[in-house]
Structure 1
C-alpha cells in the first residue's frame, strides 16, 4: 500500500512539473500574436509553431498545419469586419531588406470575396521560406502592418518541444 501511494505521488509530482513547464495560452498569444486595426477590420496574426498550433487547432488537422509551419514561416490570420467588405488576402513579409510574398489559405471567408459585417474570417498565410526569428520582421497588407520582434522567451518557446521519452518496455 505504501509503495503504491509513493508511486502515485511521483506521478502527480511529475505531471505537475510538466504542466508547470508548459506556457499558458495567454503567454503564447502575447509572444506570438500581433493585431492591426484598420477602419473596417481588426486582423490578428499568430506566428505558428508547434506550441501555437497545439492551442489553435485540433487533431487530425493540426498535424498538417504543424508540418506546414515547420516547413516555412506561417501565420494564422483571424478577423471580423465591422461592415460588409472585401478582405484582402495579399500579404508580404519584410525582413532584413528582403520582401517575401505570402500565399494565403482559406479556412473560413479568407478568400478575397465580400464578407458581411460581423462574420468571422479565418485563414493562414505562408511564406516560401523560413524567416530568421532572431531578426525583426513585418507583415504588410492593404489593411495595415504589424511588426514582430520576438523576445528571448518567445525564441525559446518557438524551439521544438523535446521529444517525449519512449514508454518503458
Structure 2
C-alpha cells in the first residue's frame, strides 16, 4: 500500500472522519435498517435495500480510511526544506502561458484542493516540480497540453 502523505491537520481530519463513520454513522444506518425491517417483507422493500447499500458504502469508506491512517506519513511543515520542491512546500511560479505568477502548495492526495492552490503530489504539475529549485524552468505535459513554468520562490 502506498503512503498517505498528510499534515497533522489532514491526519486529524482522516481520524475524525473514521471515528464518525465507525460510531455515529453506523448507528444511524442501523436505525434505518431496523425501521425498514418494520415494514415486513424485505424482498420488495426499497428502504431496506437503500439502508443496506448505505451500510456497504460506509464499510468501504471505513476500510479505505483505516488503510490511509495506518499508512500515513505526517509531513511537519517545520521540517520541510525549501531548497528544492518537496511535498509540504509552497511554490511561487511564473506561468509563461498566462504571463502571471501562480502559487501552489504541494500536498498529499487527501488534502489536495486545486481551487485553493493545493495540488496533489501525484498531479502532473507537482510531479514535474518535485526536486527542482528556484530559477529552474519546468515544462509540464498535462491533459490540457504542455505548460511552462519558472520556479520563483519555495517556502513552507
TM-score strictly above 0.5: no
Structure whose CA Rg is larger: 2
TM-score range, shorter chain: under 0.3
Give the TM-score taking structure 1 as reference length: 0.26
Higher strand share: 1
**When you count helix as a share of all residues, which structure comes out higher?**
2
